[in-house]
A = this chain, B = another copy of it.
Amino acid sequence: MTQTEHLNKLQVTKNSFECSVTTDIAVFGYLDGELKIMLCKRQVGTSRKNWLLPGGALKKDETLEGSAIKVLNILTGIKDVYFEQVKVYSKLDRHPIKRVLTVCFYALVNPEKHPLVLGETVEGIKWFAIDQLPSSIGFDHRELIMDSILYLRNNIKTQLMAEELLPSKFTLQELQIVYENILGSKLDRRNFRKRMLQLDIFENTGQKKLGIKGGPYFYSLK
């Protein structure tokens, strides 16, 4: 340890305040033709009013990312998903009882690949369309959700998210709907198709999706 680090250590230990830290995860998935977000009702109890993002306390031997992954798996059975840090929330009164600092992540899942398994303390899990959130959302989680959507919206411009959100075979319309949901606006169908196909990462499987007029082809990642 260098001197500087030694002194810095003193700096930290002298100011001995320590803080509970939690992670909350905004999980997005494409379901029933819409972009949705997963919310939970936690624990059994007489009043189960509020929906919450899945989340939990950081433990001694965990990184934030590790904690988020573990917590999500324990509560919902989901694993191996795409994660991204959104923001930290540190307002003094975010939690009614004690000071809690929360790091929010967002995750993208393809619900088809991630069957839900209710964790012990989980009363219920439900997917909500992002423009039809329930009115009863606990703590400041509505703010976390809104911020996560903003981050997602910004990231879609540069990053491709189809792989994470969509089933392995999908029609171009389904892909377009995901984009429109995230961006919150309508896109021109021809221009969208052209742009996506120019990326040269999708291929036409030759199969058509049945039950839909027009007979759209399924596409998959190359």
Contact = CB atoms under 8 A, between A and B. Distances in A.
Nearest to A61: B92
B59 A12 contact: no
B22 A20 contact: no
Instruction: Give the number of copies in the complex.
Output: 2
A76 to B, nearest CB: 15
A61 B191 CA distance: 52
A85 interface: yes
A164 interface: no
A4 interface: yes
A65 interface: yes
Given A3-B49, A45-B4, A95-B12, A60 B121 contact: no
A103 B2 CA distance: 22
A3 B45 contact: yes
A42 to B, nearest CB: 6
A177 interface: no
Contact of A9 (B19, B60, B97, B101): B97
Could you say which of A17, A52, A139 has the most chain B C-beta atoms within 10 Å of its C-beta? A17
A191 to B, nearest CB: 23
Interface in A46-70: 46-50, 52, 56-65
B90 A4 contact: no
16 contacts: A1-B97, A2-B47, A3-B46, A3-B47, A4-B45, A4-B49, A5-B50, A7-B121, A8-B43, A9-B95, A11-B42, A18-B20, A61-B92, A63-B90, A63-B92, A65-B90
